[in-house]
Structure 1
Amino acid sequence: MAKPSDRDLVERARQGDVAAFGQLVRRHQPRIHRLAVHMLREDSEAEDVAQETFVRAFHALSRFDGRSEPYTWFYRIAVNLSLNALRSRRTSRVSGDSMDPRLEGVMTERRPSAMADPPGDASRKELYTALCEGIDTLSDTLRTTLILVCIDGRSHEDAAKILGAPEGTIAWRVHEARRKLREFMSARGFDLEGEVA
């Protein structure tokens, strides 16, 4: 039997099939959580945002108009909740936390065994820490666009739908975010020609 599409699951959930909405949550929760982690830089807060994203979506099922795919709707809710959380704690957040969950994810994805390359791991951690700090210096708009396109792998078209901006604007934001990141990293002694671009 073919796997139901997101739209099929939304329609079934609208008709009262809670299990159908549960399938949507299981299908999209990991990506929504990862997006929130990258935006908020805090795992427990990202879990709250991911959970709240699906709670809000469930309560708003009747208002989902179907002009976009359900996953872009989830992303839009998660982005808005993340930006609201960032604004509410703007003055109290310190960048460059050594327990940054973004670093943990990157380090474990890159290295399957714990003893593979300790010197290389140390320099990668230094590079990734600086990159995270550079990403944190970007405006909310540039950072959100960069996370969606370069980290989460969304297309410019998808990012445009999620953020409600033209594709050309998304392309410019990605270009500008990369340019600013290259400048930030260069000022710290990292040469990222070809790595960030």
Structure 2
Amino acid sequence: MKMNPDHVLMSEDHENDSVQYDLSDPASWAEIVREHYDGVLRAALSQTRRRSLAEEVAQETFVRAFERHHQFDGQGALGAWLHRIAVNLSRDVLRRENVRSHAELSEAHETSDADPHPPEVVHRKHLCRVLREALDEISPPMRRAFEQTVVLGYSYRQAAEIEGVSEGTIASRVARTRNALARKYRDLDA
């Protein structure tokens, strides 16, 4: 496939090899969707808390990105740009539905234990509820930094690109969030 030099993007794949995409070519977007769909879906799910809505947002994210590929300057990571689109679309959808937007950790980061005992299920649900309540008390910038790095697995650099702040700011927000959650957990044990 011949690449249009005005629309070529170098992207890092999971093995840290450079991959070239022609952002004006729909065939390139098929590969971009394969590479980034799971991360975009997790980002949307962390905002919407509903899988069906998150899937719609994920699909719309790629449509919107393809339509506006000329707006991507190539300076940041493609995944960070897609994440930002997904988060913005999720917030738009939630605003329209007048639903609070915060992370649903239990759905975004489910464990797959085989047939846990009922007391374990009750305890896990209780801890998830306490964690969600604690995260609700944290400022949105701190919560987003925590969700992006701890829940979604983005690096501090990627989270910094998404938020438009320095890596140090992300590190500080994550550390302060961890400390706040640790205090909440200690209070729970007391």
- For normalisation by structure 2, the TM-score amounts to 0.77
Secondary structure at the counterpart of residue 10 of structure 1: strand
Structure with the higher fraction of residues in strand conformation: 2
Match of 2:106?
103
Asked if residue 60 in structure 1 is aligned to residue 68 in structure 2, the reply is yes
Match of 1:194?
none
Match of 1:10?
21
Is the CA contact 1:156–1:170 (under 8 Å) kept in the aligned structure 2? yes
Match of 1:50?
58
Opposite residue 171 of structure 1, the aligned amino acid is A
Match of 1:74?
82
Secondary structure at the counterpart of residue 148 of structure 2: helix
CA distance in 2, matches of 1:121, 1:76: 34
5+ residue gaps in structure 2? 1-10
The count of corresponding residues between Structure 1 and Structure 2 is 176
Secondary structure at the counterpart of residue 147 of structure 1: helix
- Could you tell me how far 1:10 is from its partner in structure 2? 3.0
Is the CA contact 2:76–2:161 (under 8 Å) kept in the aligned structure 1? yes
CA distance in 2, matches of 1:63, 1:39: 24
CA distance in 1, matches of 2:97, 2:136: 14
Alignment of 1:85-100 (within 5 A): 85-88=93-96, 92-93=99-100
Which stretch shifts more, 164-173 or 131-140?
A: 131-140
Is the CA contact 1:83–1:140 (under 8 Å) kept in the aligned structure 2? no
Opposite residue 24 of structure 1, the aligned amino acid is I
Which stretch shifts more, 76-85 or 28-37?
A: 76-85
- Could you tell me how far 1:143 is from its partner in structure 2? 1.6
Alignment of 1:133-172 (within 5 A): 133-172=133-172
